[in-house]
Amino acid sequence: MDLLEQRRPLSLTLTDEHEMLIMAVREFAQREIAPVAAQYDESGEFPLDTVRKMGAMGLMGIEMPEEYGGAGMDTLAHVLTMIEIAKADASHSTIMSVNNSLYCNGILWFGTQAQKREWISPVASGAEIGAYSLTEPMSGSDAGNMQSRAYLNEAGSHYVINGRKSWVTSAPVADRLALFTMTADAPQSSHNDAGKKQGKITAFLIDTSQPGFSRGKTEPKLGIRASATSEIIFDNYLCPVENVLGEVGQGFKIAMTVLDAGRIGIAAQALGIAEAAYEAALLYAREREAFGAPIGSYQMIQQKIADMKTRIEAGRGLIYQAIIAKERALALGERYTTEASMAKLFCSEAAAFVTDEALQIHGGMGYSKEMPIERYYRDARITRIYEGTSEIQRMVIARQEMGLR
């Protein structure tokens, strides 16, 4: 693609269907999710009841074709609904994002027809929960440093998987899992002789009800506390060869392709959190009085409002650009890495800025758990870490621009 093609204006059309979707999801989120968000945040309990309701609305597989149990809508629909769910509660949007972007997309793009029918349908419909596992205790941003291993048994019928994965969103309740691990030549292959090359990584579809799979402790997190996260352990887990996703050794490509989509979802989540904090701050600035006038009449508060709004709308523009890049890239069999990374980077940092300013505008009340501002502040922090830290996003963007892919 030449420079002129890269820089040509991009646009999106919000259809009547999109408008109706926004209103329906907003009404649902504010009625069903917002009233219980603080309760689930406090307890850390997984919100299975409301997640099932999201599934009934088609939100857990919104981009998946109807033949696989999804809603058959587009990326814009996914983003718009992610924003509305995140405004009500970031934890619910995290669960939705993993289901859609990280689990279902990988199978849709790389799976066989049999795998799509078996592995997408129950998760896209919300009947079951999907998860995605790439990170390990010693390999976060450095995916090539994995120590988990899978080797083919003597019969050639199953891969035997051993190892420990960490920070797996929805792991404590997941029914199905997209797993990325190193394929080794033999069970005695060590961490060193199996190699660290990215080409050794293979993707597997995992049924968590089978022997050899267990879950570690649930992580006590700072934010998105209702989105359960834990380690998972494989102890001679037998995975049928027909459950290899894509080709053996293609796992790194699959993982990174899926993360492109996931980063758009996290950008939308961050934008939703920022919008919720901004709207609360705007209302408070209009109503709260100090020195005989609403605090919003003072220039220092007005500056904060202006900066918050500008970052939100700039982030929205980057998300829309990433959506169009994704649709165009998928049609051509290409990647949209730069656009996805820019959207994720900017929106996650905008969410941090906006929630901090919103808390400052609220003063002491913003620091109290009686208001949702402190929850927005805590929830926003993770968006700069998961699915690629801000540092990784900057590295990815720079390397893409310099041709160092």
Catalytic residues: 387
CB 264 within 8 A of CB 326: yes
Q: What is the DSSP string of 182-251?
A: EE-SSTT--TTTT---GGGEEEEEEETTSTTEEEEEEP--SS-TTS-EEEEEEEEEEEEGGGEESSTT-H
CB 360 within 8 A of CB 376: no
CA–CA separation, 64 and 301 (whole Å): 44
* Number of Cβ atoms within 10 Å of the Cβ of 315: 27
Look at the block and give the residue holding tokens 């009800």.
209
CA–CA separation, 399 and 253 (whole Å): 17
Identify which of 212, 155, 157, 163 has the alpha carbon closest to the alpha carbon of residue 184. Answer: 163
CB 232 within 8 A of CB 216: yes
Q: At what angle do helices 373-381 and 337-362 cross, to 10 degrees?
A: 150
Q: How far is CA 76 from CA 100, 148, 201, 218, 377, in A?
A: 13, 36, 31, 33, 26
Write out the two tokens for 339: 């656009």
Q: How far is CA 55 from CA 37, 50, 79, 121, 379, in A?
A: 18, 9, 16, 11, 23
Q: What single-letter amino acid sits at 74? A: D
CB 204 within 8 A of CB 150: yes
Q: Which contacts of 48-54 are long-range, i.e. CB under 8 A and separated by 24 or more positions?
A: 48/173, 50/92, 51/92, 51/95, 51/126, 51/129, 52/126, 53/28, 54/85, 54/92, 54/96, 54/126
**Strand, helix or coil for residue 58:** coil
